Structure 1
Amino acid sequence: VSVFPRNTEEERRLFNLLQDAYVQARYNKDFVVTKTDIDALIPRLELMRDITEKVCCDRIAYYERQN
């Protein structure tokens, strides 16, 4: 599952926006993310969160079984 596919120009733009936001939101007071972009990013970020949670839980369970 690709959380951030980059097959289209719009997908690449959203991915780059998220990367830029990581730094720009802290250091550039003029950096803006539109509501439309936020609405497009939220489902992807929720998917990323869910995948991360599953991977972490699986890894924790693996280490617990090792004891």
Structure 2
Amino acid sequence: MAEDYEPRLRAVWPHQNRIERRAYGLLVDAYVKARYSLEYSIDIEQLEWLSGRVKLLLDLVEQVSRERLATLETAA
């Protein structure tokens, strides 16, 4: 949903190939399945890839937030 407001966020979760779509699917599944199902699993390579994407997301959200705050400060 946030991608509608900030298009730069689309680059965080690429869906260009099956591996990227699968990795993102594992993240989505982890939200529920990792807590309630013993069948959820993720290998170290997938976890490392997702960790890198989450770090990218954090950095980008911080940048976008700072830019937005700066525009609000100058408007006030």
Same fold (TM over 0.5): yes
- TM-score, length basis structure 2: 0.73
Alignment: residue pair count:
66
User: Could you list the runs of 4 or more consecutive aligned residues of structure 1 that deviate by over 4 angstroms after TM superposition?
Assistant: none
Deviation of 1:29 after TM superposition, in Å, equals 4.1
Structure 1 unaligned residues grouped into runs of 5+: none
Q: Deviation digits for residues 15-62 of structure 1, max 9, x if unmatched? A: 111111122233x14133332221121111111111111111111111
Percent identity, aligned pairs only? 33
Name the Cα RMSD after superposition. 1.6
Task: Tell me the residue number matched to 1:55.
Answer: 64
Aligned pair partner of 1:37 in 29, 46, 55? 46
Structure 2 unaligned residues grouped into runs of 5+: 1-7
